[in-house]
Each structure stands twice: as C-alpha cells, then as structure tokens.
Structure 1
C-alpha cells in the first residue's frame, strides 16, 4: 500500500508540475495553484520513500529537512519556469493597462538595442513608415519618414513606440524579435564573431498609408476608432485610433548633445500623453476599447433569428412603440418614439414588417422580441460563433488577432445576466452588458460579406531578412464558417436595405457602388450634477461594399458621437470612398 500511495503521489505531482510549466505566462494563477498542490504530494511521496524512524529528535530533524528540501524544490521549479521555460516570453512581455492603454515592457532589452539597426516597418505598398538612421557613435535612432507627408499620430497606435525609457508598444513590441534581429540566432552569432552591426528584419504591414490617413482625417478631432478589412483575406487595411500619439516624442537619440535634456524631453512628452484630460492616446481603441455596440449588434441577433427560424420566426414580427418584457421592468421603446411601424409599413412601398424592414429602420422593440423568442442559449451560441464570449469562456487576450494586444468581446459581464427577460431584450438590440471592440464588429460585417466565412484578421503581411529571405508570410486563414451562404446573402440584402431606404442613407457615398450597412447608437451613463440620470451616446456604423461582391468591411465607432445613422454613417461612407480610391 505504501508503494502504491508513493507512486500515485509522485505521478500526480509530476503531472501537475508539467501542466503548470506548460501554461503561458498570462496564466500565472494556474501555475501557482499547480505548484502548491504538487509540493504536498512530493512531501508525501518523499516521506513514504524514507524508512520510518522511531519518535524523537532524529525523526523531527528528518521531517524538518524534508520540508526544507521540498521548499527548495518549489523555488527551483519556479526559477526553472522563469529562467528557462518561459524566459523569452517573460523578457518580451508587454503589459497593457486596460484603462489608459499605457504599456509596460522590459526596458533593459531596449537599452541593449541602442546600437541595433532595427528593421524598417513598411505599408502594404512598400512605403516606409518607420526606418532606422545610424548617428554619431554608431548608435541607431528610429525615424518616421511619413511624418513629412502625414500627421505622425495617424500611425502611432499601430507601429507603437520604441523607447529606451519606457520600452516598446504596438508592432515595435509584438514584432520586436524580428525587428531587432534576435529571432535569427545564427546570424546574431555571426554578427558577434565578425563584429558586424546587427540589422533587423523588415516588417511589411497590410495597412495602406493613404487609406489610413484618409480614415484618420474622416474622424477630424473626434475620439474614436475606424477599422477597414479586406473581406476576402482578413487583411487589415486601416486601423485608426484617435486621439493618438507621436512616436517621435518617445524616440531617444543617443547622439543628442545633451542626453539629460533628451531624457527630459521624452519624460515631458510621456507625462503629457498620460495626463488626465489627454484622452488616453496610448489606448489602441480598435483592439483595446470595449463599448456597447448599440444597434449594430442587431446584425448578430438577425443572424441568430435566421439560423433558428422556428424559434425566431424572422418575418412574423411587428414594431410597436413599446414592448413589455417582464413584470416590474420598464418597457423597451424605439429611438423614434412614435409611429415607427407606420414608417416601416409605408417605405419604400406599402408592405407588412419583416426582418429586412425592422433591420433597415432599426426597430428596438422588434429585436427585443426576437431575442426573447430565441432565449439566452441560442443568442449566446450565435454570438460565440462571432467570437463574442461569455465571460467565463473569454481568453485573457483575443487569440483571433495576435498582431496587437486585443481584448476579447463579451456578450455580458455578470453571471446570470441573460436569465432576465428584460436583460435578454436589451441585449437583443445592442445594449445590456455587451462589451465589444470595434475590430470585432468589423469582423461581424466582414463575415457576412464573405458568404458567412469568418477570416482571421492580420496586420503583418510578411517579414523579410536583410538578405531578402522571407521568414514570415501571412496568407488568408479562415477561423470558422459562422453561417450558411444563403443566410449571409439575406443579411447582405438586409444591410443594403439599411442604406438604400433605411436609417443609414448617409453611408451611400460611393458613386456607382452599392453600400450596405447598419447604424448603432450606444447609450451610456454620463451623469452631471444637474442631471444624474443623463445618458450620452456613442455613434456606430458597420458597412460593406459592394453589396453583391463585397471587397471592404468597415467599422466606425465615434465616442460621444450621438446617432450612428448620422455621423457614423457619414464617416463610414467617406472611408469606403477612400478605400475604393486607394486600393485597386
């Protein structure tokens, strides 16, 4: 019996240690739990391995020595994990503050890289966004040639910064091993033996610099996000976050006449962009901003209704001014408080309400009814197809897009929220506890445009060594089929109706091209002393074009922008027009 217990304890301890060591660094809690469970099992196995001793000082000393040995074994395993198993991941880790977007990374690697000639970052057409200049003392300084043509904040949240004071962010961080040349250990060894300067790899992005600048200009001075995706490949053609920051402000020049003054300049700019009232320019809103999606989420509810027609009954619907949900809860109301059903019945010609019409005119009471018909399980299941998670299933970082740190989108926050019919109804028309990123809503639109196949979005097109060898080339990769082709086709017709005769007419801004889309007005509390119940609204719009053979999907989110059918649709139309002009 002692032998069986001994081997079972030892085997269980070994399995727990192996499991814990295999966990990524973001799952420290799993490793700590595995280690703390494994150590007592190791102690039991060791006790049973030793010969029993009679009671007395010798046995007490033996137990104490065994406990100390097991403690040292735990420390050794922790060091093994940190210094060997996950050494590279820990050294390269970037922590992003979810509230401010402020990154924290390993500055020592950056300081050691002051003489490394980091590789350039190019747009899809080969236009240099970031380059390296060798200055006095053989030091390397990051330069931003596009600043001569465009506002450098246009690209700040994508390329990020590379700072000896504050580490790295954006592509500078996620592609650091390539840009610095660290990835190629053989070439690094040759450089060290031959005393050659280390030259990093070239990173070419999927971004089109002209479209990126045009999308940034469309936001004007407003805070918000714009994402443009090639629906056929998943390539991210533009990703705008405003306000942004100028990466030149954090680039240290080792050849500066006064290094202390150079450091003071950088410190002052860092304080300025992190100051209260700066608008959180370090926060990459398309991937790290989470908001209620407003009526753009009716797209997901509509897909769920078409996927489950027996429960959803898509064309057996009405649009009353109010709809009760459950006793004690306020009724659901429409944004157009009276007479919306009359508008739906008469535009563009007399007809009964159906899914297309209530979608085109964004009827809250209709989509509340759809959600209550479907129930929480079917709505959750459809949202999960679009990678909108329940909180207990959500990864720490969304793994569908890994080129930049990305938060997962959530269908609710608090456990059991959708058990309430009122909460279910609110979620159906895009409120409730929904928390989604602009990137995720762009993916929803792109999936419908791509006949129901969700493609993995990517920002890095390829990485090329200095000798011209391609080491990474990203190609289109599907995530999953979200819906059948016929459901996607019907949703494209619904989106076209939303622009052709519905509330999204302002998006129809591309001559000769049929645009489809859905507006969203996401309410959120903005209390004041005089009005503690005051609500404000973010303006959303998702769009695809051309509807028959889509090329582009766009998501626009303007913070405190009001009605999505106005400002959101206008901006989406401008961005689509720029996309057709810039990308042949």
Structure 2
C-alpha cells in the first residue's frame, strides 16, 4: 500500500469514527453531533479525492470529478443528519422535554395529538389514591383529575404536570409520557389493541408522594411564593414537593366531548395566556427543583461539614464571633445579622454554638481557613458544582426537570478573600435549589450517605403486571459517620437553644434539628427565608427544606413553616 492509499484509509477511518461517536450522542448533545458531522466532511473529501486521483493534474474530466465529490460529500452529510433525526434518535427527539429561559417545560405537541385516543395511565400517590386518570369520551379520551375532589389541584400541578393537545406536556406527564401512553412497557398489548381496533391503554404510576402531606405542606405555605421539600433520608423517596404559585391542570385539559371545539380551544388558550403574564408569578416553574436561590445561612451546614472533615485546618473547636471580620482590607468588612452575638456564643467559641446562633463572621473565618480548593471539594460532595464541572443535564433527580446548584458563577471567584469568606456563610455567588438543601439535610440524617431522590415508586401495566420498580440508590458518602453525628448535634442545638427554637413547639415530644437561613438577594429587597430540618433525631424519618421568597427571617418565618410541615408529616403517617 502506497502513501496515498494509506492516507486515504486513515482519513476514512477518522471520518467514520467521528460519525459513529456523534450519531449516538443524546438529544442534549446536538452541538457535539454537528461538530463531528462537519469535522468528518474534510476527511471524507480527502479520502475520496485520494482514492479517485489520477495522474492528470488539469483537465475537464478531473474538474468534474472533483465537483462531483463535493456534491457527494454534501449529500452524504445531509443523509447522515436525516438518518440521525428520523431513525437513530427519532423517538428521543419526539419525546424530548426542554426548559425555556424562564425554566418552563416545553415538549413536542405531535406525540400528544397522536395519543388523544389513548386512555393514559393513572398517577397514584403512595397509598394508591388516584390523582390523575383518563376517561373515554366517544372515540377519544380526556385527562381528568380526581385529586381535585379532595385537594387544591394547584398543590400538585408541578408534580403531575399538564397534558394538553395545544401545549404539550410537563411534569410527570412529560418525563413518563412513554409509559403513561403505553408506548413503553406495554408494546405487545398496544399492538394487539391496534390490530383489534380497541382503545389503547397506558401504564399506571405509583408515586412515593404522600398526597395528604403534600396538601398540608401547600396549605402551610399558603399564598406565599416558595417551595417545600420533604424526603425520606434513608431511601431518597420524596414525600412532598410543593411549589407555589402553581396552576390548575384542568385548565389545559381538552374535552373532546364538547360540541364547540373552537370555544374549548379558546378556553385553553386563554388560561395559558393568563399563566404567562408577569403577575401570575411563573406557575409553570417548579421552584423546588428548578428554582436557584442564594441559600444564606443554611449553607453554613455545608461549610461546617468541611470544617469537621478537614479539622486540622478548620479547627472547629477554636473560633471567635467578632462584630466584624475583614478578610480583605480593600473590601468592606463582613458583619453579623444580629449584634452582640459573642455574648451568646462565648468568646472564644466552638462550632456548635456559632452554628446554633448563626454567626456570619465565624463562618467567614472557617471558609478562609479551608481555602477555595477545600470549599469546592466539600460542596461537590453534595452536588453543588462549579461552572467548570457543570453537566449538560443534571441527573440529581431523573423523574422531573431539575437544575444543578452552583457554588459560584465566575471563574476565579473564590480566589478573592472576601468572596471566599462570603461563600462560607451562604452568600457570594451561591445558587442552590430547595431540593439540594433537603438532600444536604437528608445526608446528615442518613449517617452521611446521600441518596438519589425519586418520585416514582412503580410503573405497572393495566392488568397489574410490574414493569419497573425503584430501589433506593446511594449517590455517595458525603461525610464520615462521626461528622454526621456531630452535625446532628449541631442541628439539635439550633432547635434547643439557638436561632430556630420555635420549630420544636410544633412537634412536642419529638427531638428535632434544624438550621435557619436569611438570604440576601437584591439590595434593599426583603430577604428569602430558609429552614432545613430533620426529625426525629434518634432515627430520622424526615428531612425538610422550606424556602419562602422575600419571606423575611429564616429563624421565624422559615422555622414556623418547617415546624408545620414536620407536624403534618407525623400526623399523616
């Protein structure tokens, strides 16, 4: 084989390798696929040119051959693109769900239209109560919501989502569409129904959700904008996931039985438009999983874990709580939210007391001791990432769309002393979801092991046959058992004598631990109110995170809301 032939073979192998790698990229990897496709073009062209090259240097025949190669490669690339879109990734593209700039879910409308005649599967809570189902209407089907007979449907809207012939799907209706429509897990029955002209039926979802607790948590939040998350620490099962404001999914459900279909479509369009106005407060945004907020002092929990895990440099038992702390002489000093804290924490103090009384200057010092590298490493244990390590699609929760929490946005941010210190007490450029902070609390409650959160327990066929079931999955150990026990003691101190004592009054006789947070976000605006909690401390069954946008003090508003949620959790067991 001469050099020309060898180069042609190498070019062809390289082009085929790029296409093979790119064509099987997920839908989210469209950019990688297009880069591979375009990068393969010159390689294909070079291989073809070398393979067809003759001794002629300039001739009409040779020019026509070269032109033909250009068209051949071009048509080949178009064919590969069509092959990927219409065959290799056709199903994934058809069912793909994305978020717009406001965090709202958008999906393809065509699969929804095609499934109008399908009796979609039921969605049930952990006790088997039917929340959503379909009923036949003539030759079509209509999505109905039995949950509205007992609860406010808006409390469940960002979980079950909507199913609309005009606007697609969201929530579980989108992420589990293939199961609910019967396209997955029930293929033979769907083929039989098609051959016999019978109404196709979808599969049923049973959730980990406690519908009574979900309703009570939503009622406790009331008309305030915010969210509530309740997890089972030992399994990751989601018991409640509230986002307010919500929407009524019945407003987007088309009724094929009405005589005036145009009026029915107009009703749906009007309701959709009402949800889009600014005053509606983005009801399609699931604040519990997609909302990104500065965490304020609840993040001191993560910093405290770092201090305990790196006790040699963190020195948890030796700390002060001065009125001000100046990590950078060229930047403003850090101050405490409450004056005279040293009289409560003692001077010098220790980690438990500065955590209980939420001393900003103490945790700014802790962060400075740890340094940027250890702060990044500690936050990463809890999936609070950096822009350099962001994933295309965050998989912290696979059942619903979820955003990844961020330690900072700008490269090199933590290299600034004041920025590092601010991050230590929960400000800086931190952005976290309420779900992520619930997972932090749950990891502490579960001996340091963080579990994968999940919402769907089982998927079953209409005849009751099991298609899939969720088994608890461990993400990783985030801290040692000793650190987890120390953090439980620190959270207990918050509820016993610190800035969070009021939470204990809602669950008398039950030992509870927690941490308040008051997060500054826009200068001059009322801060966000946070609280995370675990209970009972001797054998934790619940991990809670609550967040009220512009709610005020976490030690009062947040603690009260978390206390009411915990009380409801025990009452609805």
Q: Is the TM value for this pair above 0.5?
A: yes
Aligned to 1:348: none
TM-score normalised to the size of structure 2? Answer: 0.98
The reply to whether residue 392 of structure 1 matches residue 388 of structure 2 is yes
Match of 2:205 among 203, 206, 209: 203
Equivalent residue, structure 1, for 2:9: 7
Q: Is residue 98–residue 288 contact of structure 1 (8 Å, CA) maintained in 2?
A: no
Within-5 A mapping of 1:141-180: 141-180=142-181
Residue deviations 1:308-344 (CA, integer Å, cap 9, x gap): 11111111110001000113111111101x2111111
Map residues 250-265 of structure 1 onto 2, 5 A cutoff: 250-265=252-267
Distance in 2 of aligned mates of 1:484 and 1:389: 21
* Kept in 2: contact 1:227–1:438 (CA 8 A): yes
Secondary structure at 1:427's aligned position in 2? helix
After superposition, the C-alpha distances for 1:170-193 in whole angstroms (9 at most, x for unaligned) are 000111111111112222211111
- Post-superposition shift, 1:7? 2.0
Indicate whether 1:287 and 2:289 are aligned: yes
Task: Tell me if structure 2 keeps the 8 A contact 1:540–1:557.
Answer: yes
Partners of 1:4 and 1:307 in 2: CA distance: 57
Q: Tell me which residue corresponds to 1:565.
A: 555
Query: Is 1:523 the counterpart of 2:520 in the alignment?
Result: yes
Q: State how 1:107-146 maps to structure 2 within 5 Å.
A: 107-135=109-137, 137-146=138-147
Output the CA distance in 1 between the equivalents of 2:38 and 2:331.
Answer: 47
Matched, 1:93 2:96: yes
The residue aligned with 2:460 is 464
Distance in 2 between residues matched to 1:158 and 1:396, nearest whole Å? 22
2:104 corresponding residue in structure 1:
102
SS for the counterpart of 1:269 is helix
8 Å Cα contact 1:321-1:339 kept in structure 2 = yes
| Number of the residue aligned with 2:526 | 536
The answer for the alignment partner of 2:70 in structure 1 is 67
Contact map agreement 2:321 2:348 (CA 8 A) in 1:
no
Q: 1:430 aligns with which of 401, 409, 426?
A: 426
1:360–1:497 CA contact under 8 A, matched in 2: yes
How much has 1:54 moved relative to structure 2? 2.6
TM-score w.r.t. structure 1 length?
Answer: 0.96
1:324 match: 326
Quick check: 2:318–2:348 contact (8 Å CA) kept in 1?
no
Matches of 1:98 and 1:537 in 2, distance apart? Answer: 24
Aligned length: 568
2:494 aligned with 1:493:
no
- The equivalent residue for 1:408 is 404
Counterpart CA distance in 2 for 1:207 and 1:285 is: 17
Which stretch has the larger CA shift, 503-512 or 357-366?
Answer: 503-512
For 2:340, the equivalent position in structure 1 comes to 339
Q: Write the mapping of 1:204-283 to structure 2, written as runs, cut at 5 A.
A: 204-283=206-285
Task: Give the Cα separation in 2 of the matches to 1:4 and 1:343.
Answer: 79
Question: What's the offset of the Cα at 1:472?
Answer: 1.0
Aligned to 1:84: 87
For 1:493, what is the secondary structure of its paired residue? helix
- State the match for 1:303 in structure 2: 305
Cα drift, residue 352 of structure 1 = 4.5
Contact map agreement 1:252 1:262 (CA 8 A) in 2: yes
Contact residue 396 and residue 407 of structure 1 kept, 8 A: no
Q: 1:34, CA displacement in angstroms?
A: 1.2
Residue 433 of structure 1 and its aligned partner are, at CA, apart by 0.7
Q: For structure 1, which segment, 58-67 or 262-271, has the greater mean C-alpha deviation from structure 2 after superposition?
A: 58-67
Q: 4-13 or 560-569: which moved more?
A: 4-13
Tell me how far apart the structure 2 counterparts of residues 504 and 15 of structure 1 sit (CA, whole Å): 59
Matched residues in 2 for 1:318 and 1:547: separation? Answer: 28
Instruction: Give RMSD over aligned pairs.
Output: 1.1
Q: Where do 5+ consecutive residues of structure 1 fail to align?
A: 346-350, 526-532
* 8 Å contact kept, 2:514–2:532: yes
